[in-house]
Every structure is written in structure tokens, then in C-alpha cells.
Structure 1
Amino acid sequence: MAYRLIDLFAGAGGMTLGFTHRDFCGGFESVLSIDNDQAAVDTHASNFGGKAVCADIEEWLKTNKVPKADVVIGGPPCQGFSLLNKNRIGDERRALWEPFLDVVELSGARTFVMENVAELYSSAEFLAIKRRAKRMGFEMRAAVLNTADYGVPQTRKRTIALGFKANLVPSFPPTPTHAQPETLLSKRLPRWRTVRDAIADLPATPIGTEIGTEKTLNLHFGRNPTDISLARYAAVPPGGNRFDLQRNALHLTPQCWIRKTSGGTDLFGRLWWDRPSVTIRTEFFKPEKGRYLHPVENRPITHREAARLMGFPDSFHFCGTKVEIARQIGNAVPPPFAGAIAEVVKEILSSRSARPKQSGKRGAKVAA
């Protein structure tokens, strides 16, 4: 019998996929997902069935009954913790962990998983979450984890907070499955998966400029760049960035970049074949937003390539417009990473491999 799963702020369902699909973990069944993005809800429903709801979670809770569940997962919107919003002015969303925990309580769940940006780990909000969870009878463990350590061809650091109702300490954080090359761990674990591993087999030339209907390649479409954009792409060498554009083709470089002599080295950069990708964000199709140029082709990465760099299988069906699908991809929890977390949750729920409490602190950057 499968464990019952509720996914809040579910997006396309990357975390649900990691919990429910046997290639990642399996053993869980989606009984409810909630998100306020209709296209994402359509994607979730298309892939998982179950009850997928498009709603504001606080409004939904006023008139609906929460179903029973074994685990509640999700990522309350992270903009309130983001480095892009250091002052947290005018952002009410950082409080959305409260209805998340309301659902945990109302569902009778024995465990929960909250995913958020790395900055959550050291925030005042995290301490408030721990206090509320403790009042509800939950213990918590948390860590900042890198998705590349769990088979995702992308370096993406996230805080994972695990809550559980048991006098046991789970095997948390999950044991890495991959390791950075030239480290001690790499002697006994496979190396990090790379961009080459993920996308090298896809056609070098995108298939048209529309989403298309062929399921396995329906996101491998291109854009219609201007002549100046094509010239700019061509001026960036393998591994290069906007500074190479300035060196190689000053006349093609936007004046704002010329005036800004310092700053991020990922803007207008090319991905490297033999490294994991940088963090895939919601506007990965715009190279001016980050290191999103193909390693050798003179174009940005396609939606299919971005989905693969997140760990989504080609069989996963996305719904919506190009922009809506890009948002779903960039906001997702990579499924292989979610699968590693799901294995820990399964241990807790089945009481297998959980170990009695021990005194003393173990490991680094793991919050008790």
C-alpha cells in the first residue's frame, strides 16, 4: 500500500515525481496538490491524476477539508528569503510556511518536507518554523544540500527541512549518490553528472520554434533571434561570458555591460560540457539572465535541455505556453533530488533504518 502524499506550492510536480516514480523512489501516492498557477496545476494533473487544485492555499483552507496523509511536502515561495530581496520589504509570502504547517496538522501527517532556498537555513523564519513544528509535536532536521550530489546534472543548493513524529533520528541528510571530481568521495562514488551526460544526444538544431506534439521532443524548440543576437552568441567562446563578448566584439556589447566592469561572470555565458549546469532559473531561455548559452551551438538552451538539466524524464508532460512551462521548469524541485529525500521519508514511515537518538552533534551545517 502506497503512502499518502500532499504536495503544497506544488508547481509542475518535480517533488511529487521524485516521491511517486519508481525510477526515483516510489511507494507514494498523490492525494492532493495545490498551487496558484493554473498551467502548473494542469501539468500536475496530467502526470499524476489525483486531486490537483488551483487556489490560494489560505483561501482554500477556509472552505475545504484536508484529506488524511502520511507526508506533506512542498516549497512555500522563497522570495522573502532570497538574496534578491534582502530587506524583505512588501513580501508577505515568507509567512506561507504557516498554512503549510496547518495542512500538516490537519492531515494527521507523520512527517513533512519543506524545500526552500539556501538562505532559509540561517533565517529568523527558520527558527519560527522550528518553534511551531515543536509545538505540533514534530522534531526537525535541516541541511543545505547540493542537487549535484544526488544525480542531478546541475549545481543547485537548497535548504531541506525534515519534520517527523518519532523518538528516532532518521538517516538525514540523505547519503550522496554522486561526488564532485577530485574529492575523496569521488574515489568511491560516481562523478557528478554533467551537461554532456544530460543533453549531448539531443539534436544540435532545435526542432522549429513551437512547442510541437511529439511527446519525447516536444520542448526542444528554438527562438527567432535577431541578427545581432546571433552575432553576439558567436562571439562567446566555449566557457566564455559577457566579458568575452566585450573583448571579441565590443561593437556588439550593450553599453550597460561596458559601463559595468565588474559583477557576475555567468551573464551571457556558455555552459560547460563536462560540468553540471549552473542553477536553472525561470528565464533560462534568455542568455542575458545567466549562463544559459549552449556549450557549442550559437543559441540559448531549449526547454527540453533545461528540463533534462533539472532531471525530468522526456516522458513528463508539461502544459502551458512557452513562458509558463519555463517557469514550471525553473521553479521545480529536481526529481532525482526529491527521490533521495523520499527514501529518508520512507524509512521514517516504515520504521526501517531509523536509528535511536544519540547525544552529541554530527556532521556540518545540519540543524537539529
Structure 2
Amino acid sequence: MHKVIDLFAGAGGLSLGFKQTGKYEIAAAFEINQNAQETYKKNHSGTKVFSDVCSADFVKLGEKLGNIDVVIGGPPCQGFSMANRQKNRIISQNNMLVKQYVRAVKELKPKAFVMENVEMLKSDVHRFYLRTGETEIIDEYNIETTPSEILLLEGKYFSKEIFEDIRSLHEVEARLWPEEDYKLLNIAYRQRKNLKKCREALYRYQKKYLKLAEKIKQADNNGVYECFDAAADAIFDFFDKIIDADQVVKRIEKTIMIQRCLSRIKEIYDNELQIDEIICQNGIVAVIQSYSVLEYITKMLGNYTFNMGVLNALEFGAPQRRNRFVFIGVKNEIAQNIEMPTGTFTKDNYNTVKDAIKDIENVRTVFETSEDSGAELTDDFEPTSLTPLLRDSKKLYNHIITKTRAVAKARFEALGQGENFHFLDVTLKENTYTDVSRTQNTIYQRLNYEKPSGTVVNVRKSMWIHPTINRAVSIREAARLQTFPDSFVFCGTKDSQYQQVGNAVPPILAKAIAEHLASYLDQKKNG
């Protein structure tokens, strides 16, 4: 048995797949989310479960548990994309978790590791920003850095005052509003393309807006930021019925953008990013060195033979299309060349939604976790190709759904199998998303029994619909699409259970990866 540690384990889909091979022992797992941790503990009783990867001493843990053969896990990693540099957040705090994964591998020195993440990780545009104090390690491992520009403020909002202020953290903090004040103003600005909703938001929070306007007027800005006063005046004028919502939006826009700029530069200071320069060039731009996430991993773990690629769970038997980027490393002395696993399923024999959930179509659902005592399953069903894998319990838990309001119910009733929000009549699209045309195709998706599903995410938020019944897809149905067997029970709140399922690695894909990896580890062992 190969001893495994699972990092960022979530509910435990990756662990389950490895365990199902019968070739691995999951010695320990790390998961910080309490609901997911509860689920993991319930379904992996023999595994020691820890919380925070960042505070772990992997050297001591390895000494306590014995030699660790394999490290697995899916560290969250947004990095940053040059295409998305105008978003409000510059970096994700999750970025450091990839570095924690690398630290775990370096300290535990396993024979192999498997890192699973989103497909985008393979792209060079996903990078880390250079932090103060990192130069030495970047130089030691010969990791290439390139200057990257972070747009802090567009040219049309530029002012000399803010260009001077952002060079000082003290001045930034003096001008930066409390988060709740910014969010309040942004509620109205966010609805700028739907003035009806903008008006409704302003009136809904009228007392708070007026209080904010008074607060702005009383603040000592020394006349530096006239746009702040302009925002306050716009609020007063709106409630005095002098202007309408469209003018409010125009007059608060610069304040919103200035606050975003201040927030971005503070984020840079707080994360100790190494600023090369701040320049005024069609706005305000911070220049910071960056380096590829992928190069960081490969250079830091140079004593491993690597392969990587995008695996589609559909080709490994899952009844859904789900692409995941999988990075496999095996110690050089074990293998000098490794191949990626290949699926055996094609369009001629893909598993479908019907294969996964048809047999529980008439099993009663509940609305709340407190009502989930388990539904009794009968033998009155037609087996499918997935039945032996999924139907391994006499009771069905997590068959929980959301209550459907009248508008959503009307939409459910109007959609046929395979259709989504864009198929609705215009009358059923009103009073919904700000920009209807940009609504994703996965929203209000009615599943088609005869085809695989799309990628299972949080199907509650996406409002996925059962193929033949006018109700939401249950947590258990989503779990089956992910190939979790019925004996695997999810814990926590309803929202959390839906999210845990959506975040998980399909166990059927994890098992295929584990079997493939074992072929290298066992070859060395038997040799």
C-alpha cells in the first residue's frame, strides 16, 4: 500500500478515487473548510484530518506518519491573468496555496505527487507577482521574471493628487473608505445598466445612503478629492428629486474608481509586492515583476520527472464534460519518462445523465438538511452501466433540493431537455440578470437524459433542472453526476453541500489517475 497525504482535500473526491484502487492508504488530509472537513471525516474514518496547510510542519508530520509515498491535492490558484487586470482584486490569497503545496512536496520528499487544478494553470498568462524577499529563491532556481503592468486607474479618472498619494501607504489608508461604505456606493453603481434596479437599490437603502453622504461631507479631505463631495451631493440631489438615477451613476463613478485604485495599491502594499515603479501612462500603472506559476512548480521540484495535461472526466466514465489540468510528478530515479492516463470512453459509449440518476427519479426529495433521514431505495429500477459504481446503499441521503418560487417554476415548465435560460420567451427573462445576453448557457439548464451533463459546479446557483421533473437538481443527483457513490454522505448546510459537490474531483477520474500512477510506483517496487 502506498501512503498518501491529500492537501486541499475538500469533501474527498480525489482521496476516494485513490482509495477505490485498493493500492493506497490515505494517511492524512488537510481541509480548512469546516463543512467539507466534516464530510471528509465522515467518509474517510481512518484518515487523520488537519485544517490549515500553511501552518503545517510537514517534516514532523512525515516523521510521525512514516514515509509518505504520494502527495495529492488541488491547491486553488487564480494567479493573475493579463486579460483580467482591471478586476477589483489584483491577486487572490489562494495563490500562496500552490507554494504551500510545493513546500509540502519538498519537505515530505514523496516518490510521486499529483496536482489537480483548473485547465488555465497550464497557460503562461497565469503568473505570480514577485514579493519582497523572494528574489533570492527566484535567482537560486533560475526562475524567469518579466515586468507586468497593473492598471490602477484609467486615464479619464486621473488626478495629480491621487498620483502623489498612492506612493504612501499612510496617505492611501487615510483616503480609503471602510469596506462597507464602498460596497454601499457600489450597489447603485453596479446597477448602472438597469436604472430601475438602481433606483430600487437607492430607495431600499435610503437611510444608509444619506448617512454615508453626511459622513463624506464631514470628512476632512482638504479639498483634494472633489469627486467625493460630488458623490455625496449626488445622493442628496437624488433624494431631493433634483436628479434621477442615471445622473447619480455618472456623478459617483469617479469616486468608485478612485476607491478601487486605493484598494488595489493597498493590496500591493499589504502583500509586500515588489514595485519597480509607478508610472502615469494613460492612467496610473504599477510595474511589478511576475513569474509563471507553471515554471515555479517545475523549477522548484526539479528532481521529479513531470507530465501534465488536460483530462476530460467524460472520457474516463463520468457522465459529465469536465476538463481538469492534471500535473503528475515521479522521482527521477523511479522513472525518466511518464505518460498521462488516457480515457477509454468515446462519443459512442459516453455515460449519460440517465445512466447516473434515472433510477432515483421517483425517490422522494426534501428541502432541508434537517429533514434528510435517508430515503429507502427499492429494487424496482432498471440497472445502467453506472449502477454498480453508484448504487451501493439501501438508503439515499442528500436527496435535497431548493424550493422553487413562482417565477423560477414558470421558467422550469417552459424549458425542454437540453435547453437553458436563452431558450426562454422574453417575458420570462424580465427582472432578472443585468445583461440578459451575457447570461451563461449553464444557467437554468435542464439536463438531457440522453446526453452527458455539462461541468457540475454549484448547480443550485446555476439553477439546474431535472430532466423530466419541474424541480431543481438535488445534491445527490449532482453527486452522482460527479460519480460519488450513494454511501458517500455529504455534511454541512445545504449551500455548502452543493458547493462541496461542485468543487470535487470526480472519483472515477481520480481512480484512473491513481491506477496509472501505481503502474510506475509498483514497477519500481517489483523491479
- Which moves more between the two structures, 269-278 or 163-172? 163-172
Normalised by the size of structure 1, how large is the TM-score? 0.83
Aligned to 2:9: 10
Q: Which residue of 2 aligns with 1:208?
A: 366
Q: 2:443 & 2:47 partners in 1: Cα distance?
A: 40
Percentage of identical aligned residues? 35
The Cα offsets for residues 293-346 of structure 1, whole Å up to 9 and x where unpaired, read as 112221221001000000100011222111121121111110010001001221
Cα gap change, 1:259/1:339 in structure 2, threshold over 3 Å: closer, same or farther?
Answer: closer
Alignment of 1:142 with 2:308, yes or no, is yes
Structure 1 residue 59: deviation in Å? 1.6
Q: 1:327 and 2:499 equivalent?
A: yes
Question: Hey, what does 1:228 align to over in structure 2?
Answer: 407
Match for residue 353 of structure 2?
A: 195
Structure 2 SS opposite 1:92: coil
CA contact 1:287–1:293 (8 Å) conserved in 2 = no
> Does residue 297 of structure 1 match 2:472?
no
Deviations 1:237-271 (A, max 9, x none): 222111221x2xx3332345585335533321212
Contact 2:311–2:325 at 8 Å: present in 1 too? Answer: yes
| In 2: Cα distance, 1:69 partner to 1:82 partner | 34
Q: Say if 1:35 and 1:55, in contact at 8 Å, map to a contact too.
A: yes
> Compared with structure 1, are the counterparts of its residues 81 and 17 closer, same or farther at alpha carbon in structure 2 (3 Å cutoff)?
farther
Structure 1 unaligned regions, length at least 5: 182-190, 356-368
Paired letter, 2:33: D
**What letter is aligned with 1:202?**
I
| Structure 1 position 33, deviation (Å) | 0.1
Cα RMSD (Å): 2.6
- Measured against aligned partners, the alpha-carbon deviations of 1:55-112 in whole angstroms (never above 9, x if no partner) come to 2211233895334310000000134368996667131312312221222222231000
Instruction: Specify the alignment match of 2:510 in structure 1.
Output: 338
Matched AA of 1:125: V
Q: Kindly tell me: are residues 27 and 157 of structure 1, through their superposed partners in 2, closer, same or farther at Cα, counting changes over 3 Å? A: same
Tell me, what secondary structure is at the counterpart of 1:89?
coil
Partner in structure 2 of residue 128 of structure 1: 296
Partner of 1:114: 115
Match of 1:366 in 2: none
Structure 2 partner of 1:172: 339
One-letter identity of the residue aligned with 2:54? E
Structure with more helix by fraction: 2
Q: CA deviation at 1:127?
A: 1.6
Structure 2 alignment gaps of length 5 or more:
125-291, 375-392
Bigger Cα Rg: 2
In structure 2, relative to structure 1, the CA distance for the partners of 1:5 and 1:82 (3 Å cut) is farther
Distance 1:27 1:344 in 2: 11
C-alpha distance after superposition, 1:16-50 (max 9, x if no partner):
100012xxx22101111001111211221222223
Aligned to 1:188: none
Partner of 1:217: 396
Could you tell me which amino acid in structure 2 is paired with residue 207 of structure 1? T
Q: 1:209 to 1:100 in 2, by over 3 A?
A: same
Q: Distance in 1 between matches of 2:38 and 2:434?
A: 43
Matches within 5 A, 1:1-368: 2-21=1-20, 25-61=21-57, 65-66=61-62, 67=65, 68-80=67-79, 89-123=90-124, 124-134=292-302, 137-167=303-333, 168-169=335-336, 172-181=339-348, 191-204=349-362, 206-211=364-369, 212-214=372-374, 216-245=395-424, 247=425, 250-257=426-433, 260-262=436-438, 264-281=440-457, 283-288=458-463, 292-351=464-523
Counterparts of 2:431 and 2:3 in 1: how far apart (Å)? 55
8 Å CA contact retained: 2:305, 2:338: no
Name the CA shift for 1:348/1:85 in 2 (closer, same or farther; >3 Å).
Answer: farther
Residues 151/84 of structure 1: CA separation in 2 closer, same or farther (3 Å cut): farther
1:201-226: CA deviation from partner (whole Å, max 9, x where unpaired): 11346422133122731111222211
- Return the TM-score normalized by structure 2: 0.59
Question: What is the number of residues matched between the two proteins?
Answer: 333
Structure 1 residue 272: Cα displacement: 1.6
- CA deviation after TM superposition for structure 1 residue 274, in Å: 1.6
The answer to whether the Cα contact below 8 Å between 2:80 and 2:91 also exists between their aligned partners in 1 is no
Partner of 2:239: none
Counterpart code for 1:275: K
Answer 1 or 2: higher relative contact order, Cα 8 Å, separation at least 6.
1
Contact 1:37 1:54 (8 Å CA) reproduced: no
Give the CA deviation at 1:353.
Answer: 11
- Aligned partner of 2:131 in structure 1 is none
Which one is further off, 295-304 or 148-157?
Answer: 295-304
Can you list the C-alpha shifts for 1:151-208, whole angstroms capped at 9, x where unaligned?
A: 1111110110001113525652113121123xxxxxxxxx111101100111346422
Deviation by residue 1:118-153 (Cα, 9 ceiling, x = unmatched): 00112321121111111xx11211011101010111
Is contact 2:43–2:489 with CA below 8 Å preserved after alignment? yes
**Per-residue deviation at 1:228?**
2.0
